[in-house]
Amino acid sequence: MDRQTAWEKLNEWVKSPKLVRHNQIVELCMRAACVKYGGEGVDIDAWGIAGLLHDADWEVHPEEHPKYIVAWLEERSEKEIAHAIACHNTAWKMSYDAPMDKALLAVDELSGLITACAALRPDGIMSLETKSVMKKMKEPKFAANVSRDDIKMGVDLLAVDFESHVQLLIDAIRARASEFGLIGNLN
């Protein structure tokens, strides 16, 4: 599947600019994760599309998410992407067979936590450090909708150093911070 087709589907189903931005950030982080964890010959575009579409049906079908986007992908023979997206809903109890499956779980909620941390800072993500994210990770009332359990499970499944993973995502987001409005409000 090409990104343009995925982008069109995302925009067909998702109307919230905040949710579109979240999906774009997860796409960006999945591409960085692919480079780091995917190994040789892995399709970086597939990882990016998994990130871009992972919450595509959340607005339209929140109670059954991600059933509809998974079905849409399977109809197009995008089995690997569909499986990774199915895996990010831990209630489905899917098997985490591929690095992409594990990475999407390790990236999704954590990217939201990083974005929330950046929103508190005058310079956004530009000087955000891993230790700040790790501290906020321990505060359940901060970004309370972010599942710390999902983050921990994803990082454990990937079998990577937690702080290095956080830094990977910070660096990926920081590289395009202005596009996502994460450079803060300093003049």
Closest CA to 87 of 78, 99, 77, 75: 99
Looking at residue 186, its pLDDT comes to 57
Q: How many angstroms separate the CA atoms of 51 and 25, rounded?
A: 8
Looking at residue 187, its pLDDT comes to 43
Cα-Cα-Cα-Cα dihedral sign, residues 112, 150, 154, 46 = negative
Q: Tens-of-pLDDT digits for all 187 residues of the chain?
A: 999 999 999 999 999 999 999 999 999 999 999 999 998 999 999 999 999 999 999 999 999 999 999 999 999 999 999 999 999 988 888 999 999 999 999 999 999 999 999 999 999 999 999 999 999 999 999 999 999 999 999 999 999 999 999 999 999 999 999 999 999 775 4
Domain ranges (residues) in the chain: 3-176
Any idea what the Cα angle at residue 99 is, between residues 97 and 146, rounded to 5°?
A: 100
Looking at residue 89, its pLDDT comes to 87
